[in-house]
Copies of this chain bind each other. A is one copy, B any other.
């Protein structure tokens, strides 16, 4: 018992005994068994983080925000990856919940019915991140992708472009990309426009795909004067393609992506984009988990963040 007290810094132990215990622990290479500890105390310092992928730049940055904020709370993030598969999400969630974490941070608002039920039943703070276009189980931190799509469309139209094409992922479960496209088309419609062309891809090097898709669209639909990409990586590929082929950007063709990835800073020309507040999302989500744990508040809150449009060098200045 005294050992337990020393190792957890809880309760009074005389300095002499504390020393003896620590010395012995060090000598024996003793590592306390958190499994037993957690079972006895009904407390687990783990936070489940469930995200679709690690291979694009977006989630690692969210992770950074989460880790930074959790750093000095004693909480530890544990990552599960779903590869954009709802079934896999469900099973990862089940697996993680069975370790009784202190909270769950999960990407998106769309989950299987079973997953929804598990989240609702879990009795711990749940934060759904990235997206707020929908109804969260508990709390949510994110941006409105629909609005983001609309905003970009409005900026593009204001700049005088009229023949607009969309290039993006095919993934049926990338709900956020879908919502951006919906918002985008909605704003086009309001201006009496419609997409002139669209092109989808899946898998492979995004940068390369961006080049290929851009070539395909420009060949097929020469009248196109703007390319809206569902993410910055393929947008960057498109930009490199245009530069390599001496296409006047943003005069003849305008370009825009989404995410505000750091990578763009290194490109010869800055791609228009909207930053997705990734770091901030991670931070705020972690704060909710850490905070709730303290004061036991259960009411869900929705935090909407507002991405800023970065016009870069690939959109003409608006015609007034």
Chain A residues in contact with chain B, CB under 8 A?
29, 31-36, 38-39, 44, 54-55, 57, 60-61, 63-64, 67, 76, 78-81, 94-95, 97-100, 117-118, 121-122, 204-211, 236-237, 240, 243-244, 262-263, 265-268
Contacts and interface: CB of A to CB of B under 8 A. Distances in A.
A281 to B, nearest CB: 16
A244 B269 CA distance: 10
A208 B63 contact: no
Given A29-B121, A207-B263, A240-B267, A61 B55 contact: yes
Given A60-B55, A97-B31, A263 B76 contact: no
A44 to B, nearest CB: 7
B267 A207 contact: yes
A64 B60 contact: no
A54 B63 contact: yes
Nearest to A268: B244
A266 B205 contact: yes
A70 to B, nearest CB: 11
A183 B44 CA distance: 46
A17 to B, nearest CB: 22
A286 to B, nearest CB: 14
9 cross-chain pairs, A with B, having the tightest CB-CB distances, nearest first: A207-B266, A208-B266, A54-B60, A205-B262, A34-B98, A29-B121, A205-B265, A208-B265, A79-B79
Contacts of A29: 117-118, 121
21 contacts: A29-B118, A29-B121, A31-B98, A31-B118, A32-B98, A33-B39, A34-B98, A34-B99, A36-B39, A54-B63, A55-B57, A67-B81, A76-B80, A78-B79, A205-B263, A207-B262, A207-B265, A207-B266, A208-B266, A240-B266, A243-B268
Given A31-B94, A35-B100, A266 B244 contact: no
Contacts of A210: 266
Contacts of A122: 31
Contacts of A204: 262
Contacts of A67: 81
A32 B98 CA distance: 6
Nearest to A269: B244
A50 to B, nearest CB: 12
Contacts of A33: 39, 98, 100
A149 B37 CA distance: 47
A12 B155 CA distance: 65
A16 to B, nearest CB: 24
A164 to B, nearest CB: 23
A239 to B, nearest CB: 11
Contacts of A206: 266
A34 B4 CA distance: 22
Given A34-B100, A240-B267, 12 more contacts: A31-B122, A32-B98, A33-B98, A33-B100, A39-B39, A54-B63, A54-B64, A55-B61, A207-B267, A210-B266, A240-B266, A243-B268
A57 B205 CA distance: 12
